[in-house]
């Protein structure tokens, strides 16, 4: 498939692949799930309005995040009314570094979810429970298997994930577990 946007099917693909990540990005700024949903939908709508065949998928993803950030900033500004609040808002607004860090975090989470969705059976169950922050003993209890079985199945799961996302990227899985940002 071409890197350039080629119509509604590519837009649907972008929407399906990135909506949850952009929503998480907006929610990290707004701390309000409904406002984050509205901001995400507005960002995708603006992309849809401007989309043409000169956009690459990378351009489109960058556009979505920048637009989402601007929409979130507008919402945060509208939510503050007094001069004192405006001064506080200046201090509270995320920096450019935190903006890029949050994009990286949300995209990392999206990639890990995509890889995990390719697992099956016990591997999928164990990965899901691990991402929920469950310990090996808790996983054993939930699944009704021994602790050694959990350890053995986890080893197999990591092997499967390495095949899916590459050996050096397995660290993404562990980073996502430590972030516990899968809500």
CA distance 22 to 36: 9
Cα-Cα-Cα-Cα dihedral of 44, 49, 54, 59, to 10°? Answer: -20
Architecture of domain 96-183: Orthogonal Bundle (1.10)
What digits encode the pLDDT tens for the residues 39-97?
A: 999 999 998 888 877 778 888 888 999 999 999 988 888 876 545 555 665 566 566 66
pLDDT at 55: 77
CA distance 181 to 170: 17
What digits encode the pLDDT tens for the residues 89-127?
A: 556 656 666 767 777 777 777 777 788 888 888 888 888
Q: Give span(s): CATH 1.10.10.10, the chain.
A: 96-183
- Could you tell me the pLDDT band of residue 38, with boundaries at 50, 70 and 90? very high
Residue 22 has pLDDT above 80, yes or no: yes
115 touches 171 (CB < 8 A): no
CA distance 180 to 178: 6
CA distance 143 to 40: 36
What digits encode the pLDDT tens for the residues 159-169?
A: 887 787 765 55
Q: Where are the beta strands (DSSP E) in the chain?
A: none
Dihedral angle sign, alpha carbons of residues 153, 140, 123, 121:
positive
């Amino acid at each position: 498939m071409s890197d350039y946007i080629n119509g509604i099917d590519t837009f649907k693909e972008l929407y399906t692949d990135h909506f949850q990540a952009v929503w998480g990005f907006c929610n990290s700024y707004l701390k309000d799930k409904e406002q984050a949903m509205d901001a995400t939908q507005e960002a995708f709508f603006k992309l849809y309005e401007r989309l043409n065949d000169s956009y690459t998928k990378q351009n489109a993803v960058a556009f979505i995040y920048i637009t989402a950030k601007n929409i979130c900033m507008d919402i945060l500004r509208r939510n503050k009314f007094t001069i004192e609040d405006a001064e506080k808002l200046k201090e509270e607004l995320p920096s450019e570094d935190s903006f890029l860090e949050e994009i990286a975090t949300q995209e990392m989470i999206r990639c890990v979810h995509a890889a995990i969705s390719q697992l099956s059976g016990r591997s999928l169950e164990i990965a899901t429970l691990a991402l929920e922050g469950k310990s090996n003993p808790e996983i054993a209890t939930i699944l009704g298997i021994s602790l050694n079985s959990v350890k053995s199945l986890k080893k197999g799961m990591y092997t499967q994930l390495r095949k899916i996302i590459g050996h050096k990227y397995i660290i993404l899985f562990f980073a996502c577990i430590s972030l516990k940002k899968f809500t």
